[in-house]
Amino acid sequence: MTRLVIPLLLTLSLAACAPDRDEQTEATERSQAAAVAATEPVAATASTPPPVSESGCDDVQAQWLVGKPATEADVEQARTDAKATLVRQLKPGQAVTLEFNESRLNVELDDKGVVTAVRCG
């Protein structure tokens, strides 16, 4: 009789330690959901630059002008490189309009005519 009791007790104790089928199912579903979420693309963040539209300008292509004197030829080359249709040079203290024009390249100058910044708008 003791031969039957010991295996029966072992079986019952192991069954008591085993997780419930519902717990296993829930854990599997959570794991699968996390795996799916990990494969989804991440939304754009603030540090991601905005995409350049086909009709707009790309000021990254004109950054080579920063630190150089603003000659007419260099400013025109920067406009072409940025694929901008317009360019304006902004001198210190100069009054400017604030409307945004996606196809315009703004070249900011210091008081000596050296380019300090290049940006679209």
| E-state strands within the chain | 86-90, 104-109, 115-120
Is residue 20 in some structural domain? Answer: no
Tally of structural domains, the chain = 1
Is residue 115 in some structural domain? Answer: yes
More confident position, 2 or 84: 84
Is residue 73 in some structural domain? Answer: yes
Half-sphere CA count of 73, side-chain side, radius 13 A: 0
Is residue 99 in some structural domain? Answer: yes
Q: What is the CATH number of the domain that holds 83?
A: 3.30.10.10
- Give the chain's mean pLDDT: 80
Is residue 98 in some structural domain? Answer: yes
- Residue ranges making up the domain that contains 113: 59-120
Supply the pTM of this predicted model.
0.55
Q: What is the pLDDT of residue 43?
A: 56
| Mean pLDDT for the stretch of residues 111-120 | 96
